[in-house]
């Protein structure tokens, strides 16, 4: 790879890939990958019947959607 191509690739930044797996699948991943993993727990089932959680979660989803739409518009306009 030429120096110019290499520099152009570095300017774009590194990409991150997100992988969703169940707990039993996680333990099938290679040890090196598990060591670098960040685990996010889905607490929805724990709080899904709490009205305060429902309201906050809805506000979060609505604002997240608005942010994603705004970023899309910025890239495509």
pLDDT for 55-77, tens place per residue?
999 999 999 999 999 999 999 98
Say if CB 37 and CB 31 are below 8 A apart. Answer: no
pLDDT for 27-65, tens place per residue?
999 999 999 998 888 888 899 999 999 999 999 999 999
Give the number of domains in the chain. Answer: 1
pLDDT for 15-24, tens place per residue?
888 888 988 9
Residues 6 or more apart whose Cβ sits within 8 Å of residue 48: 54
Q: Which of 59, 39, 56 is nearest to 47 (CA)?
A: 56
Q: pTM for the complete prediction?
A: 0.49
Say if CB 2 and CB 10 are below 8 A apart. Answer: no
Say if CB 54 and CB 48 are below 8 A apart. Answer: yes
Domain containing 25 equals 3-76
């Amino acid at each position: 790879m030429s120096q110019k191509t290499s520099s152009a690739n570095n300017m774009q930044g590194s990409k991150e890939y997100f992988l969703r797996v169940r707990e039993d699948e996680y333990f099938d991943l290679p040890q090196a990958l598990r060591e670098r993993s960040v685990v996010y727990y889905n607490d929805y089932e724990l709080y899904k019947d709490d009205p305060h959680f429902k309201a906050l979660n809805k506000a979060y989803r609505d604002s997240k959607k608005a942010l994603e739409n705004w970023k899309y518009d910025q890239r495509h306009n």
